[in-house]
């Protein structure tokens, strides 16, 4: 996605930082997110625990027929409270099979980063693409609740 490549869906060449490239990135984010969280209907809040790595937190804020709004973050214990970084708010469009970063909370500057420009959307969604790959590489996966029972003592 940093150079011209074929689209997952159409097989056509897409150019990074273009509208078509952004749509292709949304598709890749959807596939990576669904590999990380194959069943988004199991709970409103989930934690993926991978030994030796930070716990990954996913919470669902809205469920509709064709979309799901979620938050994906790490939580760091700080003297002044819990710090969530990165703090990505993602809308999943199930019918279109795409996932798009809606905004990102910047807790250091205490503001929401949400810019509708193509360049900003590209940056936020490219970050999500890389982060989802990193999480998968670390062994993160949100399993059905029945598989988490042995981990309940750690939570």
Domain residue extents for the chain: 5-154
pLDDT single digits (tens) 61-113: 999 999 999 999 999 988 988 888 899 999 999 999 999 999 776 655 455 55
The dihedral formed by the CA atoms of 29, 84, 77 and 54, expressed in degrees to the nearest 10: 10
Q: Which two tokens stand for residue 114?
A: 């949400």
User: Nearest CA to 34 among 86, 92, 79?
Assistant: 92
Please state, in angstroms and rounded to a whole number, the distance separating the CA atoms of residues 40 and 142. 9
User: Nearest CA to 30 among 120, 90, 105, 118?
Assistant: 90
Minimum mean pLDDT among 29-33, 91-95, 102-106, 126-130: which range?
102-106
Confidence band of 141 (pLDDT split at 50, 70, 90): very high
């Amino acid at each position: 996605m940093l150079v011209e490549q074929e689209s997952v869906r159409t097989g056509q060449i897409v150019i990074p930082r273009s509208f078509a490239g952004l749509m292709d990135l949304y598709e890749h984010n959807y596939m990576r997110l669904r590999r990380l969280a194959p069943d988004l209907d199991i709970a409103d809040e989930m934690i993926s625990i991978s030994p030796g790595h930070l716990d990954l937190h996913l919470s669902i804020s809205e469920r509709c027929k064709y979309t799901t709004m979620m938050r994906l973050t790490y939580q760091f214990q700080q003297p002044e409270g819990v710090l969530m970084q990165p703090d990505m708010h993602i809308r999943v469009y199930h019918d279109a099979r795409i996932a798009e970063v809606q905004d990102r909370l910047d807790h250091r500057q205490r503001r929401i980063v949400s810019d509708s420009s193509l360049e900003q959307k590209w940056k936020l969604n490219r970050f999500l693409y890389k982060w989802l790959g990193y999480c998968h590489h670390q062994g993160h996966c949100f399993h059905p609740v029945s598989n988490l029972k042995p981990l309940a003592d750690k939570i």
